[in-house]
Amino acid sequence: MAILAIAVPVPLRKTFNYTYAQPVELGVRVQVSFANRPLVGVVVGCVNSIDEIPLEQQGDPNKYKPIDAVLDDTPMLSQSWLSLLHWLASYYQHPLGEVVQTALPNALRKPQSSQPTLINVLALSPTLQAINVPGNDITQTVPFIHLKRAPKQFALACFVAAKTQSGTVDSLTKDEVKQHFSSALINALIKKEILIESQHQLTSGCWFDRVGAEHFAHIAELPANVEQSVAISGISAQLNQFSCFLIEGITGSGKTEVYLQVINKVLQQRQQVLILVPEIGLTPQTVSRFESRFGITVGVLHSGLTDTERLVVWQQARLNQIGIVIGTRSAIFTPLPELGMIIIDEEHDDSFKQQDGLRYHARDLAIMLAQKQGIPIVLGTATPVLESLHRALTGKFQHFKLEQRAGNATVAPVHLIDICQQPLHYGLAPATLDVMQSHLSQGNQVLLFINRRGFAPAVVCSSCGHVEDCHACDKPMTYHKTQSRMVCHQCLAQASAPHHCSVCGASELITQGIGTEQLEQGLNELFPQYSTIRIDSDSMRGKHTLSQTIEAVNQRKHQILLGTQILAKGHHFAHVTCVVIMDVDGALFSADFRAPEKLAQLITQISGRAGRADKPGETFLQTTQPGHPLLQDLVNNGYGHFARFALHEREQAALPPFTYQVILRAEDESPQRATQLLQFARHLLTNMQNISTIGPVPCLIEKKQTRHRYMLIIQSPYRNLRQKVLDTIIDDYAKYANKLRVRWSIDVDNIDFN
Ligand code: ADP
Ligand code: ZN
C-alpha cells in the first residue's frame, strides 16, 4: 500500500494523505473525495510506509482514505515544474493545492481521465500525395491546373503540397493552415477532394524534426544596426546558461528584431522558446511577425481561447510538438520540455501581475524558471520598471540600450500645455485645438489619450448638489450615454440613468468631468470635416474589432483617434504625428509612490506610438502643473533620466526596490473587524528586527461591494527575512481571520495599494 501526499485545490496550507494499492508517479492527477466532494488533486509525494513521512505531516493514519481514481498514465506536471510550484506557493504564501491547480489548463481541472488530445489535420488526397514527391512538380498536374482559375484555392493547395512534399510530414495541423488561409477556402478544397481532413492523436515528438534543419538556412533577417548587434551577440554568447538581460530600447528601436534573431539561434539548437506579451499586445500582427519570420507553427495562448483550444496548445507544447509559444500572463505555466529561452516583451506592463487569488508576477516567476532551467531570459521595454532598472544598474541583469529608432525615425518630443485659466472645449485648450488643426490640415492623424471611459465620471444635481453614488462602493457612478446607464467602474454595478435627483427630486442633473464618449461627441462637433474613431473597451468589444480598427486607422480611414490605455500598448500608428494626453494630473498627487513612475511610463509609451522616419511626431500634455519637477524632468530629459532620478529618491525614502514590501488586505462590512484582523498581524510582528509595518490604513479603494477595505504594509530591507517572518505568522493569521470571518489576502511584492 502506498501513501500519497496530494495537493488538493482547497484554500488550506497543507497537502493531504491518501492511499493507493501501488505507488503513483509524482505529477500525476488523481481523483479524490474531499469533504464528500470529488476533486482533482496532483500527487506531490509518494512513500511506502508512514515512517517516511515527517511526524507533523502524518495526521491520523486511520483516517487516510483511498483515492478514487488515477487520471493520467504519465505525469501532467514534471518534477521540475513541481519544484517550481513549491517555490511559488511558499514565496507568495499561497496554498499549494491552489497553486498546482493554477498550473493546469482548465480542461485538466475536471475529474476526467486524460483523453488523448486530438488535433485536426489536413493532407493532400491519397492520390495526390502519391505523386507529390521531390523532383515531381505537382502544380503541373491536372487537378492543380484546373485550380488556377481560383488563385486563392490554388495557393492553398500549393502551400499544403510544398509543406508535405519532403515526406517528413504528410499532414499539417488545421490551425497552422488557418493562419494563412480562411476556413471557407479550406472547405472548398475539401469538397473538391483535393484536401482531406482527419484527426490525429497528439503524441510525443519533436517539432524540429518536422521542419528540419534545412528550413532554418533560409530565414531572412534584417541587417542589425550597431546597437542591435551588440545585444544580439551578447545574448547569443550566453545561451544554455542562466542570465537575465534587460533591453532598454525606445519604442521602434528594433527590440522585436533582436528577439527574432536570438530566438532563431535557440530554435536552431532544437530548443523551444516562450514569449510573454501584455494582454492587449497579443494581436494577430504580433503573432504573424513571428510566424512569417520562422515559418513554423506558433502556439498562441490568450484569454479568448476555449478550454479545448487551450488544452491543445498546452499539450502540443508539453509533447514538444511546437517550437514557439506566445501568450499572456498565464502562458508562463506552459510546460516546455526543451525550453531554451524566455522573452518578456513590455516587461513594465501591469498585466503580468495577477491581482487576485495567487498574486504572482509572471516576470518574476519567469526569472525563477529560467534560473532553475539554466537558460537565458530577456526582458524588453522602453520604460523599465524601477525594480528591473535597479537590477540592471547594479549588474544583476545584463543591460543593453537601444537609443536609436531603427530606420532613422525620431522620437516624438513632449510639450506641456498649461490649461490653468484657459477656456476648455470638451476638455481641450485653445492651444491644443490649434496644434491638432495644424496637424490635421497637413493630412496627418491625431491621437488623443484620455483615461476615462463613458460620457462623464459623475452626475450631480444642480439643485441640491447630490452626486449619484454606487451604494456598494460610495463612489460616483459613471454615466454611459450610449447605453443610457450608470455604471460603477469599481464593482461594475449598473443602474438606469436617472431623470431626477434621487434625494431632492429636482430634474436638473448635470454631468461633471469628461469621458471618452463625451470627447468623441465634442470632436465630431469641433472637427466635423474629419472622421473620429473611439477606441476603448466599450467600443472595442468582439474578437477582431481592435485589430480591424487599427488596420482602418493605418489605411487612413479616420483622422482622429481617441481612446484609453489600449492605445498605449504595442500598436504603432505610422500616420499619427500629433499625440494629445489629457487629464493625468491626478497621478501627480496620488498616495501611491509608484504613481509618478506609472505616469512617466504611460506618457512615454503613448508618445512612442506616433511618427516614422519621414513624418516625425510630437506629443502635447495638457496639465495644470507645468512647473511640476516630474513633468519637467520627463519632458526635458526623457524616461531614462527620470527613472534613474526616481530610483535615487526611492533609495532615500527606503522604498522598493531598496526594501521589500508585502501587504495584507482585509475586507469586511464592519471596518472594525477588518482593522482588528490587521492589528493582530501587526501585533505578531512587533519587536521583530528589520521588519516594519504601516497601518492598518484604508486601501486606496476604500470600499468595494459594501465591504470596507484596509491594509497593513509590511516591509523589510531583506527579502529572505521577509519570507521567514511571513512563514512564521501566516498560519496563526489565517486561523484568526477564519475566527473573525474576515476576508483577507496577501500580496507579496505588491505593485499597487488598491
Ligand atoms: P520595437 O520592438 O523596439 O518597438 P521593432 O523591432 O518593432 O521595434 O522595430 C520597429 C520597426 O523598425 C519595424 O518596422 C522593424 O521592421 C524595423 N526595424 C527593426 N530593426 C531594423 C533594422 N536593423 N533595419 C531596418 N529596419 C529595422
Ligand atoms: Zn460599486
The pLDDT score that the predictor gives to residue 201 is: 83
Ligand 1 within 6 A of CB of 255:
yes
Ligand 1 probe mutation, 221, 247, 256, most atoms within 8 A of CB: 256
- Which residue is closest in CA terms to ligand 1's atom 4? 252
pLDDT, one tens digit per residue, over 425-447 is 999 999 999 999 999 999 999 99
The pLDDT score that the predictor gives to residue 146 is: 86
pLDDT, one tens digit per residue, over 144-176 is 888 888 889 999 999 898 888 766 667 888 877
From the CA of 260, give the closest atom in ligand 1: 6
Average pLDDT value over all residues in the chain:
92
Amino acid of residue 650: R
Ligand 1 within 6 A of CB of 253:
yes
Q: Which of 140-149, 266-275, 389-398 has the lowest mean pLDDT?
A: 140-149
Distance (Å, whole) CA 121 – CA 201: 10
From the CA of 225, give the closest atom in ligand 1: 23
How far, in Å, is the centroid of ligand 2 from the Cα of 710?
A: 17
User: Does the domain at residues 414-452+514-652 carry the CATH identifier 3.40.50.300?
Assistant: yes
Distance (Å, whole) CA 746 – CA 358: 9
The pLDDT score that the predictor gives to residue 116 is: 75
414-452+514-652 and 660-748, same CATH topology: no
pLDDT, one tens digit per residue, over 56-112 is 888 888 889 999 999 999 999 999 999 999 999 999 999 999 999 999 999 999 988
pLDDT, one tens digit per residue, over 487-527 is 999 999 999 999 999 899 999 999 999 999 999 999 999 99
Q: Domain ranges in the chain?
A: 2-109, 118-201, 211-402, 414-452+514-652, 458-512, 660-748
How far, in Å, is the centroid of ligand 2 from the Cα of 459?
A: 15
Ligand 1 within 6 A of CB of 401:
no
Ligand 1 within 6 A of CB of 613:
no
Ligand 1 within 6 A of CB of 252:
yes
Ligand 1 within 6 A of CB of 406:
yes
C-alpha of 311 from chain center: 19
Q: For residues 382 and 248, is the Cβ–Cβ distance under 8 A?
A: yes
Report residue 584 as a C-alpha cell: 493625468
Ligand 1 within 6 A of CB of 283:
no
Ligand 1 within 6 A of CB of 285:
no
The ligand whose atoms approach the alpha carbon of 495 most closely is: 2
From the CA of 250, give the closest atom in ligand 1: 3
The pLDDT score that the predictor gives to residue 178 is: 81
Q: Angle of helix 386-393 relative to helix 629-652, nearest 10 degrees?
A: 60
614 pLDDT exceeds 80?
no
Bridge partners for 662 per DSSP: 714, 748
Distance (Å, whole) CA 185 – CA 158: 13
Is the model's pTM score more than 0.85?
yes
How far, in Å, is the centroid of ligand 1 from the Cα of 213?
A: 26
Q: Which of 69-83, 257-271, 290-304, 320-334 has the lowest mean pLDDT?
A: 290-304
CA angle 655/657/658 to nearest 5° reads 60
How far, in Å, is the centroid of ligand 1 from the Cα of 258?
A: 9
How far, in Å, is the centroid of ligand 2 from the Cα of 494?
A: 8
Ligand 1 within 6 A of CB of 249:
yes
Architecture label for domain 211-402? 3-Layer(aba) Sandwich (3.40)
From the CA of 258, give the closest atom in ligand 1: 6
388 pLDDT exceeds 80?
yes
From the CA of 249, give the closest atom in ligand 1: 3
Q: Give percent of the chain with pLDDT exceeding 90.
A: 72
The pLDDT score that the predictor gives to residue 733 is: 95
| Among the listed residues 321, 361, 319, the one whose alpha carbon sits nearest the alpha carbon of residue 344 | 361
Ligand 1 within 6 A of CB of 129:
no
Confidence at 217, pLDDT banded by 50, 70, 90: confident
- Which residue is closest in CA terms to ligand 1's atom 25? 407
The ligand whose atoms approach the alpha carbon of 473 most closely is: 2
Ligand 1 within 6 A of CB of 380:
no
- Which residue is closest in CA terms to ligand 1's atom 6? 254
Q: What one-character-per-residue DSSP string does 199-237 give?
A: EEE-----HHHHH-GGGGGG---PPP-HHHHHHHHHHHT
The pLDDT score that the predictor gives to residue 359 is: 97
Helix spans in 70-166 (H): 79-91, 96-102, 126-131, 142-147, 151-164
What superfamily does domain 2-109 belong to in CATH?
PriA, 3(prime) DNA-binding domain (3.40.1440.60)
Of 3.30.70.360, 3.20.20.70, 3.40.50.150, 1.10.10.10, the CATH number of 660-748 is 3.30.70.360
Ligand 1 within 6 A of CB of 359:
no
From the CA of 402, give the closest atom in ligand 1: 3
What is the β-pairing status of strands 660-668 and 743-748? antiparallel
Ligand 1 within 6 A of CB of 302:
no
